[in-house]
Amino acid sequence: MTRDAGSPDSDGLKTPRTTLQRTPDRGSHDWDTIAAILDEGMICHIAFEAEGQPYAIPTIYGRDGRTLYIHGSPASRMLRSLAEGVPMCVAVTLVDGLILARSVFHHSMNFRSVVILGTARPVEDEAEKLRGLEVITDHLLRGRWQDARTPNDRELKVTSVLRMEIDEASAKVRPGGVADEAADMDFPVWAGRLPLALVPGEPETDPDVAAEHAVPQYVRDYKRSQ
């Protein structure tokens, strides 16, 4: 793996494989940009090959510094394959809006995405396994790990946790608005941006929850960072 140490925004993450070829002006290897997108995202897609076939599986994840944790059943094809050291690609995408241009050709989306390349390793140490599960849980809802019952021995045995170091990654961001051709500026149709955001609804209490257990403040205040 050849790293590019000369780029001012590479943060050691830029390699020939993560260098953007198309619209490179939208690309970045800046760690703060990558970390912010990972922290706001909820689902990643993991691409890998198993038994000679390509797969792309959605799953939840969590980030602890430059370590990414994923978990699942030991019986899962994805977990079994990745635990053997199969190279993988992790992709996280956030959609911020639809760009509706005057021409169909220039319709687009505002988005932020991250692609990470590397190899995952199984977590064998019980303390780190619990830490990985805590990271994943609090990635979805900060503060929940401390409130809920933590996994017991049986649950830990039927759960696999993998870690992947974020050593080779890039971000791609499309901000801004409509970019129509000059010849289309007078075309008689509305053009603009339709912002999109993940908005939580009203919490729905499980009917078996005792009356004294109010909805936690961290649930009421829930939002993904923008």
pLDDT digits (tens, 9 = 90+) for 125-148: 999 999 999 999 999 999 999 999
CA 155/CA 130 separation, integer angstroms = 11
Class of CATH domain 24-179: mainly beta
Element housing 140 (H / E) = helix 126-140
What is the mean pLDDT of the segment spanning 206-226? 89
Element (H, E) at 121: strand 121-122
68-116: per-residue pLDDT in tens?
999 999 888 898 899 888 999 999 999 999 999 999 999 999 999 999 9
Question: What whole-number distance in Å separates Cα of residue 62 and Cα of residue 81?
Answer: 20
Mean pLDDT of all residues belonging to the chain: 90
Of 112, 89, 118, 122, nearest in space to 27 by CA: 112
Strand pairing category for 27-28 and 169-174: antiparallel
Rounded Cα distance, 105 and 141, in Å: 39
Share of the chain above pLDDT 70, in %: 93
What pTM, to 2 d.p., does this model score?
A: 0.88
Condensed to tens digits (0 to 9), the pLDDT of residues 178-193 reads 999 999 999 999 999 9
Quickly count: other Cβ atoms within 10 Å of residue 75's Cβ.
9
pLDDT at 15: 76
20-24, 33-37, 82-86, 134-138: segment of lowest average pLDDT? 20-24
Parse the chain into domains and list their residue ranges: 24-179
Spatial CB neighbours of 116, under 8 Å, sequence gap ≥ 6: 68, 89, 90, 91, 164, 166, 168, 169
In angstroms, what CA-CA distances link 125 with 109, 113, 129, 163?
Answer: 42, 32, 6, 12
Contact between 137 and 161 under an 8 Å Cβ cutoff? The reply is no
Q: Reduce the DSSP state of residue 19 to 3 states and report it.
A: coil
Mean pLDDT within 152-175? 94
Contacts of 133 (CB under 8 A, 6+ apart): 69, 71, 145, 150, 151, 159, 161
Q: What is the CB-side half-sphere exposure of residue 153 using CA atoms within 13 A?
A: 0
